[in-house]
Amino acid sequence: MRYIEPHAHMVSRVTDDYVHLATAGCQAVCEPAFWAGFDRSSPAGFFDYFCQLTEHEPKRAAKYGLPHFCWLCINPKESEDVKLAEEVIALIPQFLDRPTVLGIGEIGLNKNSRNEVKVLELHVDLAARHDQLILVHTPHLEDKLKGTRLILDAIKADPRIRPERVIIDHVEEHTVNLVLDRGHWAGMTLYPVSKCTPARAIDILDVYGPERLWMNSACDWGESVPLIVPLTALEMKKRGWSAEAIERVVFGNPLEFLGQCPKFKLQL
Ligand SMILES: [Zn+2]
């Protein structure tokens, strides 16, 4: 099989994971900027992280024939300090022309605070000014629905943003239709112990169909499964999905969304 891993935090994974991804048929891995598991103490920490995402990780992945792309931002978990966020956002434009940068992400909300919303708006403005794709993180706490609504409204409020150039990630049963109704793409994060399990994701696909939906592992420094996308594809096969329909979800859809960025070119 062939598939694309659209959301993986490879900086916190071991090199063996690249081997396993490539062996399972992964054609490209995309890494949104995220929390490191601890708060960085200064904008310089983010500068180094952006260098790691745009220089070091593509080289590490290339050893296994795997193209590595990334998204840049200050993540929602570190967006409470608006001054820090402004300083980090000011660093980003110098990286946007780098050959593997796909857009701005994963932006969004964590605790749905006023400051987080302000920083989200700054990122949306940054994406609009530089004509970038957007990848959005929705909260994993109990108020995912409220957070998703706040995010959708912040994006809608900026008329420069075309809905089809935005993917809202970590959707679940109660948020997926809101996202699709606004014309955005929706991502389902597959986790063994929290977030969306493979069985729930396939239920969602059974109900809504494959249009504008993708799946990702969002594997990071926590308990997560880097190969959960191909494992879910196997589960889809068991549940009667055709090979063509599975490939559309795990390969065709991410290719179509990410292909809106001219830098996302695969040698197939
Ligand atoms: Zn993530």
CA 170 to ligand 1 center in whole angstroms: 9
Mean pLDDT score of the chain: 96
Q: What is the pLDDT of residue 140?
A: 82
pLDDT for the residue 192:
79
Enumerate residue ranges in the chain where pLDDT < 50: none
CA 8 – ligand 1 centroid, Å: 7
**pLDDT (tens digit, 9 = 90+) per residue, 225-256?**
999 999 999 999 999 999 999 999 999 999 99
- Angstrom distance (rounded) from CA 4 to CA 21: 10
244 Cα: distance to centroid of ligand 1 (angstroms): 27
CB neighbour class for 240 (10 Å; exposed up to 12, middle 13-18, buried from 19): exposed
Cα(150) to centroid(ligand 1), Å: 19
Cα of 32 vs centre of ligand 1, distance in Å, is: 6
Distance CA 247, CA 245 (A): 5
Span from the CA of 116 to the centroid of ligand 1 (angstroms)? 17
